[in-house]
Structure 1
Amino acid sequence: MIPLGPGDPLRLGPYRLAGVLGAGGMGKVYFGHDSSGHAAAIKVLLPQLAHDQGLVQRFLREAEAARAVTGQGVARVLAAQTEGGRPWIASEFLAGPTLDQAVAAYGPFLDGAVRALAASLARALRTIHAAGLIHRDLKPANIVLTSRGPRIIDFGIARPEHGLTLTTTGQVPVTPGYGAPEQVLGHRVGPAADIFSLGAVLAFAASGRRAYDGPHAAAVQYTVVHGEPDLTQVPEHLRALIGPCLAKDPAFRPSPEQVRTAFAPPRRAERFWQQGALGADIQQREVGARQLTTLPGTVVTPPPNRRRFLTGIAAGTAVLAAGGASAAWLLRDDEPGDQKGKSSHDQNEAVDSSAGKPTWGPLATADPWSPPALFVDGIVVFGAKDGGLVAYGAADGKKRWSAVDITPSAEYLALPSGLIIAADARGTVHAFDPSTGKEEWTADVDATAVMAANKAAVYLMTRGKKICALDTNTHKVLWTAASSFEFVGAAASESHLIVHGDNKDVTKRPEVIALDTASGAKIWSRQSARAIANIPTIHGDTVVLGGKSLTAARLKDGKNVWSVPARSPTDSLAWGAAAVDGKHLYAIDGTTLHCRRLSDGAKVWTYDLKLTPVGYYPPRFTDRFVCEATGEDPKSSDVVALHKDTGKRAWGYTQHSNKQLKLATSGNQLFLLQNQSATALLASGS
């Protein structure tokens, strides 16, 4: 748990706040208690987002969904209101490890405990479904084990039974390996989807392994839809009970009551959560929680290990979502302050000994949902942990300035003049001097995303799904063009704006369009080879597009110059965005980083990254290397630097975290964002 900072409230409604449990792109989660000493997890929407009525409604819908469920198997919503213009939700605080933490610490559950877990979760699902809701994201990380039994948390994507799957554009609509086949395919789902998730959860609890696994998310999702679960490590007598829950056809899955009957929990099943090493762990956390909520004058025996307790709170007890994921998820890794990165060099290559060594950081200063950092004029800019933008000296790591009202998730970029362009939650575009943070100008254009820029204009997406060109000299709108895109990747030359968009309806293939930068008129369009957008790359008279094929097209008319199909037929494993360096381009197909000739697409070399990075952003260059995230360590998402000409590994840097890794480069500097951690590396030595 992190102490309260200068901008944090001391009290919300009846709750006195004691610390911060987690933070994300949408809000913060606080630990607090009322005058009676009852603990609560209180999620607050960030102030810069409180003006967005769509986000506010989505935020409060979560409270309504959880409040509709009153059974003992779920975390109860205690209060929800708007105070000082900032909506907040208070929920029951659960002092216990999540199921995945418990299995990692104490091993797979024995027969009786699995049966007790199955019965308890089935009863909770029956309550959820009786309220007309579907949880949609049941997984080990959303199950907290308390002394009174398992509790289901995180109703962030729960929806009425008649509702369609709701996803954030560009994201997988369900946790890989736990979502039902119909969820993976984006179809309408019913209560049976939660039963599939329950089966996957029970298989994990009984074996310590996921029933559906693979080297990357898309492979796992493919197995869910087309393959069979791996239950070989599940005891045979339990295998026969779990198997029906994982039926491909929802009609063949049992009801919650049938699950409860089939598993037939033993008498006094509640004792499983009160005995042994797991029971001691839960009890220790509960004692620590009471200590933090004790009123003055009351004495409570401290827990044996206060640090372990505080880490436990941060790791697995927060109930509510922050920025679209539970606070438990936000803080499941090592605490940012405890991360100690480690560099390694390939002894077969001549590399400076200082390459891959941190010049500063890691600092726990970043918004986990920030886009990759931006290097401008010796300054590195990224989303701040407490909201807004923050700028640090790229060389010394000293904080230079911040802009608290900016929304980092709307992206930011540098104009050719050097000014930084970003937007706030109200849609106002701001231009900042990168060295001082001084605001040079603003324009109210109702912008939701900053897309691209050239010498004449910055190109934006507005709330009405319109593409807008804003003159960077006069700060006036030059033109607007209609679009059907929910989200876009874009690139601009002096004459062409190339926009690759996607829609919420994944059955529709959006267009890649080229607009005249002077007028907004459409020059050409072509069907997208991918439903998920990524950033096009313009190099001279060529535009390179990712998708089910990596395609080089003529900028003037969109006609193919060459095309290389992806090895995988799925969107999530298709070609990502490309980066061009001289005569070569670099792009990722699935888990493989390719170097190809720009002239004809011929392969120069490949390197297996062992994970699928975020395909929206291209690989990054330093002066000598191409850098990307790698899964060489299955438990950590790290960085690897490869020689541009040969593709041989030069060095690596280990972060000891499996959170998404985002890279930025400038010259011989490499900058990493991972969860709340910000780290600067010397990429090529001194």
Structure 2
Amino acid sequence: MNPLGPGDPLRLGPYRLVAVLGDGGMGRVYLGRDGTGRAAAVKVLRRELAYDQNMAQRFVREAQVAQAVTSMGVARVLGAWYEGSWPWMATEFLAGPTLDQHIEEYGPFDDLGVRELGAALARALQDIHAAGLVHRDLKPSNIVMTSSGPRIIDFGIARPEHGLTLTLTGQIPVTPGYGAPEQVLGHRVGPPADVFSLGAVLVYAASGERAYDGGHVATVQYEVVHGEPNLSEVPEPIRVLVAPCLAKDPAHRPIPAQIAAACATSSGTKPSAKKIWQLGELAADIKQREAAAKQLISVPDVRTPSAPSRRRLITALAAGGGTVLAAGGGGLAWWLLSKDGGQGEARKPSEEESTAPPKPWDAKRLTASQYEDGTTPPSLWGPQEGPSPVVVQPLPVRDLVLVHDGGSTTLGAYNVIDGKRKWGTDVGSYARYVAPSDELVVTVGPVTVGRTGRLLALDSATGEKKWTAPADAVHVIAADAESVYFTARRDWRQSDVSLLGAFDMASRTTRWTVPMPVECTLVTPPEAATDSGRLVLCGQNGKVVALDTHTGKQVWTLPRQAVAILPIAPAVSKGIVYLGGKSLTARKLQSGEEIWSLPAKSEFKKTYGGWGAPVLDGDALYALDGEEISRRDRRDGKADWTRSLGDVLQQLDPPVVQGKTVWANVHSLDSGGIAVLHKDTGKPAWTYARDGSGGWGMAASGNRVFLVHGGKLTAMPVF
């Protein structure tokens, strides 16, 4: 976004223009607000084109025709007029990632997600065609994922069915790889051309690969007209659905109503009460962007001296994780991430540095005058008695931190502000615990002779039992918005863990169980993480397995990623999994395809060595390789800095990042503690050490780092 310049209009129709969103081939797009404060994207025809009266009149006339489309699946055209020398059109201002940005960051949709996307887009095309229009440029960058579903944008080139395309001389009137053969050949097009584009879009959504691709535009267009689409990476059920849409002959393509019906046909996957855009990281991403967009709209006129500067505005919004502000008429998207307001590519800030308002229980960070490098600051509270001597990682949930309390069969909750114990409840021996939401904690209840392990859901605020469910469970290992994943045994008398299960929290039933795909024991469950429809496990044998969360089916495996006594925790985000072991590697969650990989430099033996578990912080990744810790760009693995921690034992647990600090275990044979570094430079800040015996547990939240060691719990400050 840029402030208005000397030659920009101040008002067009009912819209006060407050900023420049971007420039396209046909014109410039502004952020406008009407008298009620409603935002709009106002697209103005370029001055050199506006001088052509026929061009200008056709621009406005066709935009006014597009107002007839009132579908919930499109960005509505709000108005258009020819005002002085400024032909303009206004459309809805949408907040959300475009489909191509979602696929690039989170990976392709699963079968159910593609069907839900296809059904929504087909219904939108049905409405467009019913109004007598053909969109003519349906592609992933012209589809915005919003909280109400996918929305088709860029009606700047939508035309009446009998019309021609409005383009500049020499421009191709279709996006290569998405336009239909008849469109490439310059023939008149009708609704079947949009169906072809929809098929190409769904191929991309299902596989992350384009149906038609090549090194040159001419090559792509030739393949569209004469070649066959690349469907090799498209799952068979979706391939059957999209192939008819890509027929060369328009008469052989289905109509949108048939596509919507086919998408609604059961795929063997149990549909959720919520759609794919209302679940998981995509829903959270959309919510963040909506909040940032609302903040942008409420900013005073960028021209006024009292308004925030361009740099301050973009920096403030960037801290919210970045926002795509899609202008329905411009087909443009603007990432407000760069520190210089759009020049170059900046690191995305971490989640804990987002613009989400601070919680009442958050601690204040140390100022520069409150700590000194080399000197450990006083704790916020503790060390205090409470945790079990056997370390299980603490779990912060809202204003509490949970940890095994006193012994192996009690889960205790401590207030993060003062460390006072708030509640405790009986659980299974050293049972793991997860928090699917801020309100709910799920663990395994007490196991007695003749009674199987039951999943136990607790109110996080009070510790009161919400529900229980029989599952023969041993440990819970991961959770998402829909399910809790657990290890189990076929019979309570067995000593081995032989099953992996998924428990559906909405129906309170076990969705599936499968034979345990990795090695684990009653004491040591596999490390796990879930994202984008995948559950990734790492077992004691170093084997990594990714399963489909809906079915439990194995999707891909890495047989010997690690060689260690204990499993190494994976880290997942936006469709990518990051793994330690013999290499530090990033792989696509959907397929396991390698994105980048760095071999370990540390000595690799039968029981230890190599990379420990990575941790993500925005676009940064931190991990230990033997005695060295480094920060790397998670997009390509390139190092920002590397720091030696001295002669330390192999550490498999991930570092902890909070505020401007990164905390790493430096336990050695004769001493131990936690090294604290400046996360941006790797410069040592201080070492927290109490004694050299026993392990350490660490977790962080709300500007506190929680340490469990020797049966004591401590809350430490950060800067």
Larger CA Rg, structure 1 vs 2: 2
What TM-score does the superposition give when structure 1 sets the normalisation length?
0.46
What TM-score does the superposition give when structure 2 sets the normalisation length?
0.44
Q: Relative contact order (alpha carbons < 8 A, sep ≥ 6): 1 or 2 greater?
A: 1
